[in-house]
Amino acid sequence: MTGGTIHVHCRLMGPGEHWNAITDANPNACPAAGHEYSFEIKDNGTIQLRKEEAHLETTPDGYAVSQISDTDSAPYNQWIGMKLVCQKQGSNMKVEGWRDMSDGASGGNWIKMIEILDDGTNWKLPSGAVSAFNALPTGSGNCVKISPIDRILDMPGSACGLRVDNTKVNFKKFSIREINSA
């Protein structure tokens, strides 16, 4: 299987452990470890935040209901800056998606497109995915199913990533930073 059917211009992922759950070419990978937050701009113009609790290859998938921005503008043939911000706030996780359409001129004109304060109860798997999640093995080592099923994603040792499916995209000015929120 190559590509996929999500048709994403670009997806910024992190913090997450999706890297350990890629199963297309590795039948021994860990679907239970596919948890991450992501900010996506899709080819149909949808701008959204996603929360993946498990990397399931079959429907229902392991994604919580996507948080969709009121703005649906993802132009072609133009530089688009994207920023995913995940910040722990008490026992919650604030997740934000930002966009810049100025090609970074003078530091960019960053506009917050969408945000959610994930408290573990307000951003959940759809009911049809819960039984598939519960059927996953608990695992061991780097293959650990999050517990409980509905929680914020604040596990230590996370990774960040970038993904593009079914489209040609050029990249520039890419960086990943961890900032102390204290």
Q: What is the pLDDT of residue 126?
A: 84
Per-residue model confidence as pLDDT tens digits over 79-127: 888 888 888 899 999 999 998 989 889 989 999 999 999 998 999 888 8
Q: Report the 3 state secondary structure along 96-128.
A: EEEEECCCCHHHCCCEEEEEEEECCCCCCCCHH
Q: Report how far residue 61's alpha carbon sits from residue 152's, in angstroms, rounded to the nearest whole number.
A: 18
The overall pTM is greater than 0.85: no
Average pLDDT, the chain: 78
Beta strands in 43-110 (DSSP E): 47-52, 67-68, 81-89, 92-100
Q: What is the mean pLDDT of residues 54-58?
A: 70
